[in-house]
Structure 1
Amino acid sequence: MISVNENVTKFIDKLLDREEELGIKSYYLENKATVIDCGVNTVGSIGAGILFADISLAGLGKVSVVPGIIDSYYINFAQVYVDRPAIACLGSQKPAWKLKSEGFVGTGFGPARAISQKPKNIYAAINYTDDAETAVINIETQVLPAAKELDYVAKQCSTDPECVVALAARPNSIAGSVVNGTRVVEWAMNRLFQLGYDVKDIQSASGACPIAPLRKEEPMFMGASFDSIAYYGMAYLYAGTRNDTFKEAVSASSKSYGKSFNALLKESQDDFSKVDPAMFAPARLMINGIQDGSLETYGKLDPAMLLESYGLKR
Structure 2
Amino acid sequence: MNDGSAFLNENAQRIADGMVRDAERLRLKVSTGTLGERLIDAGADAAGSIEAGLRMAEATMGGLGTISTVMDRASGKWPFQVEVRSSQPVLACLASQYAGWNLSGGDYFAMGSGPVRALARVEPLFSTLSYREKATASVVLLETAKPPPPPVVEKVAKATGIAPENLTFIYAPTQSVAGAVQIVCRVLEVALHKANDLKFPLENIVEGIGAAPVPAPHPDFLTAMGRTNDAIIYGGVVQLFVRGPADQAKELADKLPSRTSRDYGRPFAEIFKHFKGDFYAIDPLLFSPAEVLVTAIETGDTFRNGGADLPMLEKSLG
TM-score between the two structures when normalised by the length of structure 2: 0.93
> Does the alignment pair 1:228 with 2:231?
yes
> Does the alignment pair 1:129 with 2:132?
yes
3-state secondary structure, aligned to 1:118: coil
Match of 2:112 in 1: 108
> Does the alignment pair 1:118 with 2:122?
yes
Partners of 1:188 and 1:8 lie apart in 2 by 22
* 1:126 CA displacement: 2.4
Is contact 1:96-1:118 (8 Å) kept? Answer: no
Match of 2:301 in 1: 294
Is contact 1:135-1:154 (8 Å) kept? Answer: no
> Does the alignment pair 1:179 with 2:186?
no
3-state secondary structure, aligned to 1:136: strand
Match of 1:303 in 2: 310
> Does the alignment pair 1:285 with 2:288?
no
3-state secondary structure, aligned to 1:8: helix
Match of 1:195 in 2: 198
Is contact 2:84-2:211 (8 Å) kept? Answer: yes
**Among 73, 78, 82, the residue aligned to 1:78:** 82
Query: Could you tell which deviates more after superposition, 63-72 or 157-166?
Result: 63-72
Partners of 2:105 and 2:263 lie apart in 1 by 34
Partners of 1:246 and 1:288 lie apart in 2 by 9
What RMSD over aligned residues (CA atoms) do the two structures have, in Å?
A: 1.5
Partners of 1:56 and 1:71 lie apart in 2 by 27
4+ long deviations beyond 4 Å: none
> Does the alignment pair 1:159 with 2:166?
no
* 1:310 CA displacement: 1.5
Letter in 2 for 1:117: R
Percent identity of the aligned residues? 28
Aligned length: 310
Letter in 2 for 1:211: V
The structure where strand makes up a greater share of residues is 1
Match of 2:61 in 1: 57
Match of 1:237 in 2: 240
* 1:71 CA displacement: 6.4
Letter in 2 for 1:126: L
* 1:72 CA displacement: 3.8
* 1:70 CA displacement: 6.0
Partners of 2:166 and 2:219 lie apart in 1 by 34
Match of 1:44 in 2: 48
> Does the alignment pair 1:265 with 2:272?
yes
* 1:148 CA displacement: 3.2
Match of 1:21 in 2: 25
Match of 2:97 in 1: 93
Letter in 1 for 2:264: Y
Letter in 1 for 2:225: M
Match of 1:204 in 2: 207
Runs (5+) with no aligned partner, structure 2: none
* 1:30 CA displacement: 3.2
Match of 1:275 in 2: 282
Letter in 2 for 1:4: L
Report Cα offsets for 1:102-134 as digits up to 9, x if no partner.
Answer: 342211100101101131x32232210111121
Query: Could you tell which deviates more after superposition, 68-77 or 21-30?
Result: 68-77
